[in-house]
Homo-oligomer: A and B are copies of this chain.
Amino acid sequence: MSKLSTVARRLVLGRPFRSDRLSHTLLPKRIALPVFASDALSSVAYAPEEIFLVLSVAGLAAYSMAPWIGLAVAGVMIIVIASYRQNVHAYPSGGGDYEVVTTNLGPTAGLTVASALLIDYVLTVAVSMSSAMTNIGSAVPFINDHKVWFAVIAILVLASLNLRGIRESGTAFAIPTYAFMIGMYAMLAWGFLQILVLGRDLRAESAGFEMHSEHGEVLGFALVFLVARAFSSGSAALTGVEAISNGVPAFRKPKSRNAATTLLLLGVIAITLFMGMILLARATGVQVAERPLEQLGGAPADYQQKTLIAQLADAVFHDFPLGLYLIAGVTALILVLAANTAFNGFPVLGSILAQDRFLPRQLHTRGDRLAFSNGILFLAFGAIAFVVAFQAEVTALIQLYIVGVFVSFTFSQIGMVRHWTRLLRTETDPAARRRMMRARVINSVGLVCTGTVLVIVVVTKFLAGAWIAILAMSALFGLMKLIHKHYASVTRELEARAAETEDIVLPSRNHAIVLVSNAHLPTLRALAYARATRPDVLEAITVSVDDAETRQLVHKWEHSDISVPLKVVASPYREITRPVLDYVKRVGKDSPRTVVTVFIPEYVVGHWWEQVLHNQSALRLKGRLLFEPNVMVTSVPWQLSSSERLKKLAPQSAPGDARRGFLD
């Protein structure tokens, strides 16, 4: 900044155009927690259940392993959170994993992480929405019966809200998140209180069924594989932990410390909820099966298996039926919020990738509504494709999920280890060195741990669906590589041209041509403006598409006081583009130092359908003229009254504003 300001002192700096409605507020921790916590906490809604579902394959006996698997997941989570607390301190700029990896491991590794994260955003929407509909469907059977439709519609609604630019407020995040936390803690506390203190016998509705193993007794390697797979599915609880590392700049000062504290808080909440649910499920005897009608002996023929959360709420609040609806409601709410954060994160990551020229340049500008729109549409349609393809089954979708998250975790930790090693090379202060050594140890443990989980996840889920996610990541990686290559080749082309050209030839002559279709005001203004550029030659041309009309125009022109001569260009084939193009070419041919400026009067209108009715020929002509060297195309707008309605540029708000500290 300092260099810019000295250089810029001689330049006129534009006043910052602050919008009065959008302000940059730094987040206090009590708001930052809900803003960043929804993805991490929402996964508690499905992760414990997925552990039980996988274990159900081996029958009821395997259920006893659930708490241990839960502990393993919690252990990994503690290590990951400890690792990310280091990231937050080392990279407070908000670049997240992509920045850490690109800086330390180079752009290819960074791009790998970016592809993984982009695909995982899509899957977050698909999984969260499917889970939301299954949870609310446990209370409202109608929704369960049509959950694909409801999930698709919910995604579309969310996408359109984001397209219109929802104003993000801390409250919008705080209410559902705190409601979910309170609801869950209340359920767990009241449940354990009843069992442990009041000595009540809480039984879930499925506790009485007799669960059969699907394939007889599962033993040896198969059992190991099954446990590993249950662990993989449970690791879904870790998604969302990295969110805070992208949002450090939005925190109040000391930013890094506050972010690290929030991260710790988030970890404590997630782990207690996660473990609490597993233990309460064991205590109430909940049984969930992948194919309930076949596996659960004693279940009625029309048995509709509820989610784990719903069964727990049902059992805990058996004398307060509203409890089920409340728990199902807040669970669905936080899941929708989690899906929404993907709608925020996706375009933000996109804009960082655009900055590095891996995505189209214009995605870089934050305020660019269209750029965000494309991202939102891409995300929505991707998620809908997954939801429809997997019929909104969380268990099926979860097989594709997490690979991306752990790719990014692992690369990030490799990057952090390198980061500390590099710093240690130059650092001499013993205290600092000791801090760095400790941080490197933490990140190394994180690396070993996340790397191991990644291997387990890929091995246990590859054939079950992870290959689809990996394929999609590879395709995205290839596409972004190609885009980068294109930009590089354009830069090279320009440099090569710059090397061979000594200097840009200064035009010695300016030949102005005004395109006329009618002798009305827009044309007169175009003529006046063209004259204001003081060209060496100024002429008006019209293309004779219709004899009668041309005759009329020429007559009107002759009898007006316009002093510019009107040339009629014949068009025997009733075209416009080619005759004008040929005329311009002939004018330009005379001298290479002549620059031809073509003035096109254009209507400016306020509705898209008016745009269809006007300017189409002009638009096409402009497109063609640009291919001619030494031609400039100037649009001279004529604002029709309908354009007034579009004149005001609406203040921009963009998805993900809250995470970057822009709040209402």
Q: Which chain B positions have C-beta within 8 A of A367?
A: 571, 573-578
Given B490, B524, B602, B624, which contacts A649 in the complex, CB threshold below 8 Å?
A: B624
Check A649/B581 contact, CB under 8 A, given A505-B528, A626-B635, A637-B627: yes
Contacts of A1-27 to chain B: CB distance below 8 A: 1, 3-4, 7-8, 11-19, 22, 24
Name the prevailing secondary structure of the A interface residues: mixed
Residues of B within 8 A of A572 (CB): 16-18, 24
Q: How far is the CA of A574 from the CA of B599 in the complex (A)?
A: 32
Could you list 14 further interchain pairs (A-B, Cβ under 8 angstroms) beyond the known A360-B616, A483-B613, A498-B521? A7-B555, A14-B568, A17-B571, A361-B613, A362-B617, A365-B574, A366-B574, A367-B573, A490-B614, A493-B641, A504-B524, A510-B532, A632-B637, A633-B637
How would residues 535 to 551 of chain A score, 1 for a CB under 8 Å from any chain B CB and 0 otherwise? 10000010001110011
Q: Does A68 belong to the interface (CB within 8 Å)?
A: no
* Interface membership of A91, Cβ < 8 A: no
Query: Does chain B have a CB within 8 A of A215?
Result: no
B residues near A574, Cβ cutoff 8 Å: 351, 364-367
A494 at the interface (CB under 8 A from B): yes
Q: How many copies does the complex hold?
A: 2
The answer to whether A613 and B486 touch (CB under 8 A), given A567-B14, A639-B629, is: yes
A595 on the interface (CB 8 Å rule)? yes
- Check A637 against B643 for contact (C-beta < 8 Å): no
Q: B507 near A528 (CB under 8 angstroms)?
A: yes
The interface size of chain A toward B, counting residues with CB under 8 Å, comes to 119
* Contact A575/B368 with A567-B11, A597-B634, A627-B639 known, Cβ cut-off 8 Å: yes
Distance in Å from the Cβ of A255 to the closest Cβ of chain B?
Answer: 18
CA distance A14 to B597 in the complex (A): 19
- How many whole Å from A647's CB to the nearest CB in chain B? 5
Cβ-based interface call for A44 (8 A):
no
CA A283 – CA B572 in complex, angstroms?
55
Q: How far is the CA of A367 from the CA of B641 in the complex (A)?
A: 32
Closest chain B CB from A127 CB (angstroms):
30
Expressed in whole angstroms, the Cα–Cα distance for A150 and B311 within the complex equals: 54
CA distance A626 to B605 in the complex (A): 10
Report chain B residues within 8 Å CB of A378.
none
Q: Are A583 and B14 neighbours in the complex by a CB distance under 8 Å?
A: yes
Q: Are A545 and B365 in contact (CB under 8 A)?
A: yes
Note all chain B residues with C-beta closer than 8 A to A448. Answer: none
Binary contact readout A605-634 vs B (1 if CB under 8 angstroms, 0 otherwise): 000001011101100101011111101111
A449 at the interface (CB under 8 A from B): no
Q: How far is the CA of A508 from the CA of B250 in the complex (A)?
A: 49
Partner of A533, one of B508, B535, B568: B535
Closest chain B CB from A106 CB (angstroms)? 19
A17 touches B579 (CB 8 A): yes
Whether A632 contacts B626 by the Cβ 8 Å rule is: no
The minimal Cβ–Cβ distance linking A351 to chain B, given in whole angstroms, is 8
Does A478 sit at the interface, judged by CB under 8 A?
Answer: no
Q: How far is the CA of A545 from the CA of B371 in the complex (A)?
A: 15
Question: What residues of chain B lie closer than 8 Å to A520, measured between beta carbons?
Answer: 494, 498
A480-501 Cβ-contact flags toward B at 8 Å (1 or 0): 0001001100100110011001
Q: Chain B residues with Cβ under 8 A from A634's Cβ? A: 597, 632-635
The CA-CA distance from A371 to B612 in the complex, in Å, is 11
Query: Are A547 and B627 in contact, CB atoms less than 8 angstroms apart?
Result: no
Chain B residues closer than 8 Å to A190, beta-carbon distance: none
Q: Which 6 A-B pairs have the closest CB atoms?
A: A367-B575, A366-B574, A14-B569, A362-B616, A626-B637, A507-B532
CB distance from A479 to the nearest CB of B (A): 10
Question: Which residues of the other chain, B, contact A524 by a CB distance below 8 angstroms?
Answer: 504
Binding site for B on A (CB under 8 A): 1, 3-4, 7-8, 11-19, 22, 24, 351, 355, 360-362, 364-368, 370-371, 483, 486-487, 490, 493-494, 497-498, 501, 504-510, 520-522, 524-525, 527-529, 531-535, 541, 545-547, 550-551, 554-555, 558, 565-579, 581-583, 595, 597, 599, 602-604, 610, 612-614, 616-617, 620, 622, 624-629, 631-637, 639-641, 643, 646-647, 649, 652
Given contacts A554-B7, A578-B17, contact A528 B545 (CB under 8 A): no
Report if A490-B603 is in contact (Cβ < 8 Å); known contacts: A567-B14, A647-B627.
Answer: yes
CB distance from A531 to the nearest CB of B (A): 7
Residues A19 and B573 in contact, CB atoms below 8 Å apart: yes
Report whether B506 and A15 are in contact in the complex, using a CB–CB cutoff of 8 Å: no
| Sample (15) of A-B pairs whose CB atoms are under 8 Å apart | A11-B568, A12-B567, A13-B570, A14-B541, A14-B582, A16-B572, A361-B614, A365-B545, A366-B574, A366-B575, A367-B578, A493-B640, A507-B528, A508-B532, A597-B634
Closest Cβ–Cβ distance, residue A563 to chain B (whole Å): 12
Which single member of B365, B599, B626 contacts A575 (CB below 8 Å)? B365
CB atoms of B576 and A368 under 8 A apart: yes
Find chain B residues with CB under 8 A from A624 CB: 649
What chain B residues lie within 8 Å of A522 (beta carbons)?
494
**What distance in Å separates the Cβ of A572 from its nearest Cβ neighbour in chain B?**
5
Question: Assuming the A-B contacts A504-B521, A520-B494, A632-B635, are A13 and B627 also in contact, with contact meaning beta carbons closer than 8 angstroms in the complex?
Answer: no
Complex formed: what's the CA distance from A483 to B529 in Å?
A: 30
Q: Which residues of B contact A351 (CB under 8 A)?
A: 574
Residues of B close to A566: CB separation below 8 A: 11
Q: Tell me the bound Cα distance from A533 to B487 in angstroms.
A: 31
With contacts A507-B528, A578-B652 taken as known, whether A550 is within 8 angstroms of B362 at the C-beta atoms is no
A407 → B minimal CB distance (Å): 27
A236: min CB distance to chain B, Å? 33
